[in-house]
Structure 1
């Protein structure tokens, strides 16, 4: 009988441990309590894995450092966007703990996770390194017109750029207004990937056509979208015969477009990271003649973030991981163009002088514009609905037309 009760108690204890704790219970802890509980845990991180240098930064630097500092085993798996949201929603519906602890997210995914109450809660203020974050910067404290409000932690800040081969193009179009005439004069050299980066290009182009970026601030406006997306589809369809393969097909991902560019089949590719051209040239993926720039009146600048799943099994360990990822050491390593080139989300003036000097002495960009040169060409991200609609309508009004 005694053995039976002991077995029953063990079973009940096991069932109880599977029940996710309430966010307020987790976030009410002090940092020393979080650190003690988070050590020597396994953290499951879901992120985009489409760039070899990003993967090398995570696997070759971040994972060993977390193991050394905290005994944390960071396990990374691929996932993003709607598929990620659907998985978390299914776990919620089944009342199961999540298989994921930590997410790399922004924009539309952040919005959708808020809709299903899929995030832990406002945790950023808990992080000791949060004091270094540049949270007064509107390109960092606002995600697709959504106040971050501590629900996700800034990780990197980037701006969309055109990348061209200067051996083929002596003078690329300096503005979106010049682009149609340029395409007509240089047929077959340009196309648009039907994914996140391509949609960022389309958003920037649509805002340029409107002549007034303020129209796209605040909540989604149906009338604004209809008017200026309509102008965008007309211009795209007029230019389509001069696209790569006469616009009969479009790359479904950015990687194939990068490959077309590397092979010399097209003269342009794009990046959401203004420094990416440097690391691609350094890897010898792109030719040494590749250059990046921002056409007038500007392109989207945004930040990407780290979120913790509401039903995470190791939330304290996830907090330790995020605190490390925004540390001056990890941000410095990540900002190096030879490592990743992802612009920091830290306020450098808040750093001790010695650390600030390290950032200032990083290798400068050789093929990408310096940040100060494109500061006046940065456009804020519009509401997530604009991207959702562009995805759908680009296929309807251009690809399948």
Structure 2
């Protein structure tokens, strides 16, 4: 907030200096400038007091954070590091509630329909079609993002990673949490070649029959892999503004569906069945049952190598044409009983210190605009060792492809089930 206060004081000083240079009588222009300076000052003070009042209101309260709980390393970080910061800085107790997003939205919908004004859900880890559905059904509080000092100071408000969620306008109803990007993973001691195109992947699958597969859709990672194949074969531009008509989408993706059907006979279990989830595929890869893995956790390979789950020769890679990336977000329930506490917590999650710690501890791609950071803040990110088996960040992000509209994702998952699964 210092920047806004300084700007306001500067405006006031300029107005005073103009008045002092006159003959003691204010001209019309001088009066206007003085009035405008006063307005700027009042606005800055009101904004400062507003967030200060939120912190005061949230002091001593509990904030519930609902989201997927399948990442134990993340769970520990939230329970220990982030919760400790929130308690020490704001006297706010963070309560993490692990739950699948479908269950979260079902619970939230039930509470809203029952007229519960002080609901049990405060913060929600959300994105994609779930965000679209929740926003369109008035289940979320907002807009709130532009009221957060750290959002204003460190986020690029023009970036599509912040303005769009699976091509759907966010309009301040959620704030960025972390960036994700799909990568493929292989052990170079087992498979020295790393397929960097759909065509090369087809040859790879034939060379290692029954040793490659992907999670069954609608698993989040499996769905992203299929969309990436669609982008490789069909291009991606046409999907960014495509009508959400199933037959239109079916015709557009048919070349990719044909490609996937060609893979089936060479896949694990001959493509008759697929692993039920990304964690299941990860276990199969770790156990050597398959030779190819995939994840949205772009730097997760380094963490798995450090933990001993992957060999030292494991390497993540991406297609030459790029891989799909998206941002996951934090939203606030429309009937949250502690909106002030949720906003303070989300604001803290966007601080350079917390984002740098997430980057170092869990290798999560930061959401901050590097150009808005101070030299010291930039150094904190630059000094992070991403570890073994990872793609350099500049290279990774240079091949980052946009997500298609969320309503198309659902249709593609249905089409895959009809055209590819078990064929």
> Which residue of 1 is the match for residue 385 of structure 2?
363
TM-score (norm 2): 0.84
> Which residue of 2 is the match for residue 52 of structure 1?
72
> Which residue of 2 is the match for residue 217 of structure 1?
240
Deviations 1:187-232 (A, max 9, x none): 122111120011011111111111x321111254436521233222
Q: Give the aligned length.
A: 372
Task: State yes or no: 1:247 paired with 2:268.
Answer: no
Match of 1:126 among 147, 158, 177: 147
Alignment of 1:207-356 (within 5 A): 207-210=231-234, 212-222=235-245, 224-336=248-360, 339-356=361-378
Q: CA deviation at 1:139?
A: 2.6
Indicate if the aligned counterparts of 2:250 and 2:415 stay in contact, CA closer than 8 A. no
C-alpha distance in 2 between matches for 1:154 and 1:79? 20
Indicate if the aligned counterparts of 1:81 and 1:108 stay in contact, CA closer than 8 A. no
SS at 1:30 equivalent: helix
> Which residue of 1 is the match for residue 220 of structure 2?
196
C-alpha distance in 2 between matches for 1:111 and 1:29? 32
> Which residue of 2 is the match for residue 183 of structure 1?
205
Indicate if the aligned counterparts of 2:54 and 2:340 stay in contact, CA closer than 8 A. yes
Q: CA deviation at 1:181?
A: 2.3
C-alpha distance in 2 between matches for 1:54 and 1:38? 24
Q: In 2 relative to 1, CA 216–306 (structure 1 residues): closer, same or farther, beyond 3 Å?
A: same
> Which residue of 1 is the match for residue 21 of structure 2?
none
Q: In 2 relative to 1, CA 72–53 (structure 1 residues): closer, same or farther, beyond 3 Å?
A: same
Indicate if the aligned counterparts of 1:154 and 1:303 stay in contact, CA closer than 8 A. yes
* Structure possessing the higher relative contact order (Cα contacts under 8 Å, 6 or more residues apart): 1
> Which residue of 1 is the match for residue 63 of structure 2?
43
Q: CA deviation at 1:268?
A: 1.0
> Which residue of 1 is the match for residue 3 of structure 2?
none
Indicate if the aligned counterparts of 1:85 and 1:112 stay in contact, CA closer than 8 A. no
Q: CA deviation at 1:256?
A: 1.1
More divergent stretch after superposition (278-287 vs 390-399): 390-399
Structure 2 residues not aligned, in runs of 5+ = 1-46
> Which residue of 1 is the match for residue 37 of structure 2?
none
TM-score (norm 1): 0.88
Q: In 2 relative to 1, CA 293–29 (structure 1 residues): closer, same or farther, beyond 3 Å?
A: same
> Which residue of 1 is the match for residue 128 of structure 2?
107
> Which residue of 2 is the match for residue 159 of structure 1?
181
C-alpha distance in 2 between matches for 1:83 and 1:67? 28
SS at 1:399 equivalent: coil
Q: In 2 relative to 1, CA 41–219 (structure 1 residues): closer, same or farther, beyond 3 Å?
A: farther
Deviations 1:262-283 (A, max 9, x none): 1111111111121111111111
Q: In 2 relative to 1, CA 392–82 (structure 1 residues): closer, same or farther, beyond 3 Å?
A: farther
C-alpha distance in 2 between matches for 1:202 and 1:62? 35
Q: CA deviation at 1:292?
A: 0.5
Q: In 2 relative to 1, CA 220–51 (structure 1 residues): closer, same or farther, beyond 3 Å?
A: farther
SS at 1:178 equivalent: helix
SS at 2:198 equivalent: coil
Q: CA deviation at 1:186?
A: 1.4
Q: CA deviation at 1:400?
A: 4.6
More divergent stretch after superposition (370-379 vs 55-64): 370-379
C-alpha distance in 2 between matches for 1:227 and 1:377? 26
SS at 1:179 equivalent: helix
Deviations 1:288-316 (A, max 9, x none): 22111111322111111100001001110
Indicate if the aligned counterparts of 1:162 and 1:293 stay in contact, CA closer than 8 A. yes
C-alpha distance in 2 between matches for 1:304 and 1:273? 12
Indicate if the aligned counterparts of 1:261 and 1:268 stay in contact, CA closer than 8 A. yes
Indicate if the aligned counterparts of 1:162 and 1:271 stay in contact, CA closer than 8 A. yes
Structure 1 residues not aligned, in runs of 5+ = 1-26
SS at 1:177 equivalent: helix
C-alpha distance in 1 between matches for 2:259 and 2:174? 37
Indicate if the aligned counterparts of 2:181 and 2:297 stay in contact, CA closer than 8 A. yes
Indicate if the aligned counterparts of 2:312 and 2:388 stay in contact, CA closer than 8 A. no
Indicate if the aligned counterparts of 1:145 and 1:219 stay in contact, CA closer than 8 A. no
Q: CA deviation at 1:37?
A: 0.5
Q: In 2 relative to 1, CA 140–293 (structure 1 residues): closer, same or farther, beyond 3 Å?
A: farther
Structure 1 vs Structure 2 CA RMSD: 1.8
